[in-house]
Amino acid sequence: MSKSRFARTSRVAICVAVGLIFHAPSYAQSSVTLYGIVSGGIGYVNNEGGKSVVTTLTGSLQNNRWGIQGIEDLGGGLQAIFALDSAFNSMNGNAQFGLEFGRQAYVGLSGSQWGRVTLGRQFEVSFDYLAEYSMMVAGTGLGAHIGDNDNILGSVHYNNSIKYRTPTVSGVQGEVMYAMSNDSSFANNRLFSTGLSYEYGPLKLGAAYSNLDRPGTVINANGAATVDYVGVPFVLFHTSPLSSKVGVRTQRVFGVGGKYKVGNVTLAAIVTDVRFTYLDNTSLHLTNYDANVGWYAQPDLELSAGYTYTAGKYGGYERSPHWNIAQVGLDYFLSKRTDLALFVDYGTTHDGQVVMYTIAPSSVGANQLLLAAAYRLKF
């Protein structure tokens, strides 16, 4: 069977399965929910690969997705749960990395007294407990920490993973995750990730640690981090500074963040420490400092601003790059599910490249300016 025919058959099978789900008899305390986000826009970039360009933007306010979530009540406070979450490009319809459910695909059990455990393709703990404090998620724009080097935006998803989340006790919740290599050498493309969160009134705090060993498709295509770890233009630092053919031996990320709400104003900040070692014994140490603020001037209008400074230092390669990225945005809500936005992102670098989220990198040693108008629809 040809690849195109197989793809068509797979999509038809999925559509039939979804139809059967939603036409199946409903039982008490059980549910299946279809959800999604469609977001895009138009932007002007002054320096994309050394050239200015007017371009369409996909996922400009939030990553595009559609998915199915299910819950079955098993009694005694225990539930069976599942999620199938697909990412796609809103400008051409392509699935992310060609995967049917590239964001998440997991099944698990959840209980109010003992927490929940899930198994499948999932986000790491750093995304769960730190993303909301970054200026790109808390505000309006595409100003990610350079190259999403700490993966708190979830650019990389992890296969073969088992995740446990504790119940919340006195505002404290914990999470631990292990993504297996599925290889006879246990350290050949695996992830360990853990974290804590705390919430009390207007204050929320989070901390997380992740350790990734030998990621990438060349080393082990069936491991924890595969197609989304390499080959994405806006994701940087996943190969040696000396050769793009040399991959990562280890990547370690530690981060702390928090936010505090005062009336209609939310203040947020996050610091992450990222350490890469490469297979040719070079290394890179990055520290990201991110502060941002959001203000609801009225119930349907939010103004936001943020700034990130990233300091870098290579080992075995005499370079110490650093980056400055600033962001200002305005978000107008037509309804609870639909909003329109305008935003500006501007980044500068010394001895590096600048890149906004989903945009290709600038030329070396330059700046990058993004002016954008965007939309988002949730369902």
Token output for 202? 């207007």
What residue ranges do the domains of the chain occupy? 30-378
| b/e burial code for range 284-322 (CB count within 10 A of at least 16 → b) | bbbbbebbbbbebeeeeebbbbbbbebebebeeeeeebb
Task: Give the pLDDT of residue 231.
Answer: 66
Instruction: Compute the radius of gyration of the chain from its Cα atoms.
Output: 21
pLDDT confidence tier of residue 364, bands split at 50, 70 and 90: confident
Domain 30-378, CATH: 2.40.160.10
Residue type, 340: L
User: Cβ neighbours of residue 275 under 8 Å, at least 6 residues apart?
Assistant: 250, 251, 252, 253, 283, 284, 285, 286
Task: Report how far residue 149's alpha carbon sits from residue 145's, in angstroms, rounded to the nearest whole number.
Answer: 7
Task: Give the pLDDT of residue 294.
Answer: 98
Question: Of 305, 349, 311, which is closest to residue 330 (Cα–Cα)?
Answer: 305
Task: Report how far residue 210's alpha carbon sits from residue 219's, in angstroms, rounded to the nearest whole number.
Answer: 20
User: Cβ neighbours of residue 271 under 8 Å, at least 6 residues apart?
Assistant: 255, 256, 257, 287, 288, 289, 290
Question: Of 370, 342, 373, which is closest to residue 356 (Cα–Cα)?
Answer: 370
Residue carrying structure tokens 């099978």: 13
Phi–psi pair at 55, nearest 5 degrees: -140, 155
Q: What are residue 10's DSSP bridge partners?
A: none
CA 181 centroid distance within chain: 21
Give this prediction's pTM: 0.89
pLDDT digits 0-9 by tens, 307-335: 999 999 999 988 999 999 999 999 999 99
pLDDT digits 0-9 by tens, 239-276: 999 998 999 999 999 999 999 999 999 999 999 999 99
Token output for 57? 């933007």
